Amino acid sequence: MFRFLLDRDTWQEVYDSLSKNQLRTIITMIGVWWGVLLLIGLLGSARGMENSFNRLFGDFATNSVFIWGQSTSKPFKGFQEGRRVRLSLSDAKKVEENIQGIDFVVPRNQNQSTVMRNFLSGSFNVAGDYPLLDDVQKKKLLFGRFINQNDIEKSKKVAVISEDIFKQLFEKKEEPIGAFIQINGMNFTVIGVFEESNIQMGPGSDIHIPFTTFQQIYNQGDKIGWIMVTGKPEYNIKQIELDTKLLLRNLNNIHPKDARAFGSFNLGENFDKFTGFLTGMQFLTWFVGIATLIAGVFAIGNILLITVKERTKEIGVRRALGATPFEIKRQIVAEAVFLTLIAGIFGIITGGWILILLDHFYGQGDDATLVNASVSITIVFVALLILVALGTLIGLIPAFKATSVKPIEALREE
């Protein structure tokens, strides 16, 4: 069998009989070609979407939930309903210590402030942050550095500003690092400039200053605006959210069933929904692609069946000349495999072109919809292998049909 595959005559025979009727051969191949094209194009696009999605969220700890205090909706332990609830640093610490599966708890404070530099000013969102924020929500720094522990301990008056503010408050080509800006009338040294990410998670912030400095200048004491709770990847963020809220109600003398006391936004859950959508799309892609492929292979089988009928006489002659039924079957299966394989390879090549085109039109720049739309070479090879297998199987039908007619009847056919 192996020698048969390597034999030049085998492929000469296949080539002869296929090139005899080129139009029919081409039409036969269209189904499989289209199936492979679709599979490659769709898989590549799905991958591109996933890549662009990952690029957007790549800097973000997505297994997170944001929690902030609102006001109570139930009276409890002598407190009236409608009491304002504010989280405190000790709450954050307790959450970190007591809730299972927690990676980080990042307390944050935010305030709208007037920021001035020389004669330029604007109203910006100022956030008090710990260095930990950089782990949860990676900042891309264009210049300088992010807040560090030293800044926190010494309550330094330093600020990390967004690129946007830098553009608004500074002249072009001015050196931002070491320059002073005024926040709430106090001088802060700029230590870093960060690039805003394409996607904002939670309230945006334009300027980050050390958490401790924020406490002092806005007189916040122990209170904090909100916390970001990030779970370890293997833990369910929904459960962490429930646990955390229950603990926080306990700590703040709030009725355990008071649903309104704490607001939250569960990023992890929303993220899961979207990745679920992506997975679904990939599944759909496979489904559509493979279904089309199978349909294409069936079309090949179908047309070969017609071909075999047309070639009844030729097959009869070959058998009269001493071709065994096995040799006839082998020949037809080889034709089927050859057709599927060539059609498949064309599909892969044109599918590649489609992906190049997609990349050219939708894959350029930072806000590209499809990033690196591509299909792994393994998938391509697996697809080819499947095609060969399917081609063999489908080729068996016309092959058996071809030898089911007796040579004498085949010869009589006109």
Partner 1 sequence: MLVIKELHKSYPIGDSSLHVLKGINLSVEEGEMVAIMGSSGSGKSTLLNIIGMLDEADSGDYILDGLPIKNLTEKKAAVYRNKFLGFIFQSFNLINYKNALENVALPLYYQGMKRKERQEKAMFYLEKVGLKNWSHHLPKELSGGQNQRVAIARALAANPKLLLADEPTGAMDSNTSYEIITFIQQLNDEGKTILMVTHEEDIANMCKRIVRLRDGIIMEDKIINQVRIEQHV
Footprint of partner 1 (CB under 8 A): 8-9, 13, 16-17, 19-20, 313-314, 316-327, 403, 406-408, 411
Q: Are the C-beta atoms of residues 73 and 86 closer than 8 Å to each other? A: no
Of 120 and 408, nearer to partner 1 (C-beta) is 408
Instruction: Report in angstroms how near the CB of residue 300 gets to partner 1 at its nearest.
Output: 20
Of 23 and 321, nearer to partner 1 (C-beta) is 321
Instruction: Report in angstroms how near the CB of residue 288 gets to partner 1 at its nearest.
Output: 38
* Rounded Cα–Cα distance for residues 332 and 338 (Å): 10
Of 238 and 309, nearer to partner 1 (C-beta) is 309
Of 199 and 320, nearer to partner 1 (C-beta) is 320
Instruction: Report in angstroms how near the CB of residue 348 gets to partner 1 at its nearest.
Output: 29
Of 12 and 100, nearer to partner 1 (C-beta) is 12
Instruction: Report in angstroms how near the CB of residue 402 gets to partner 1 at its nearest.
Output: 12
Of 65 and 323, nearer to partner 1 (C-beta) is 323
Instruction: Report in angstroms how near the CB of residue 398 gets to partner 1 at its nearest.
Output: 17
Instruction: Report in angstroms how near the CB of residue 9 gets to partner 1 at its nearest.
Output: 6
CA dihedral 313, 315, 319, 323 (to 10 degrees): 160
Instruction: Report in angstroms how near the CB of residue 343 gets to partner 1 at its nearest.
Output: 21
Measured on CA atoms in the order 305, 310, 314, 317, is the torsion positive or negative? positive
Of 16 and 171, nearer to partner 1 (C-beta) is 16
Of 22 and 378, nearer to partner 1 (C-beta) is 22
Instruction: Report in angstroms how near the CB of residue 36 gets to partner 1 at its nearest.
Output: 28
Instruction: Report in angstroms how near the CB of residue 7 gets to partner 1 at its nearest.
Output: 9
Of 6 and 377, nearer to partner 1 (C-beta) is 6
Find the distance separating the first CA and the last CA of the chain, reported in whole Å.
Answer: 33
Instruction: Report in angstroms how near the CB of residue 368 gets to partner 1 at its nearest.
Output: 51
99 phi/psi in degrees, rounded to 5: -85, 135
Query: Which of 108, 113, 141 lies closest to 126 in space, CA to CA?
Result: 113
Of 321 and 377, nearer to partner 1 (C-beta) is 321
* Rounded Cα–Cα distance for residues 27 and 35 (Å): 14
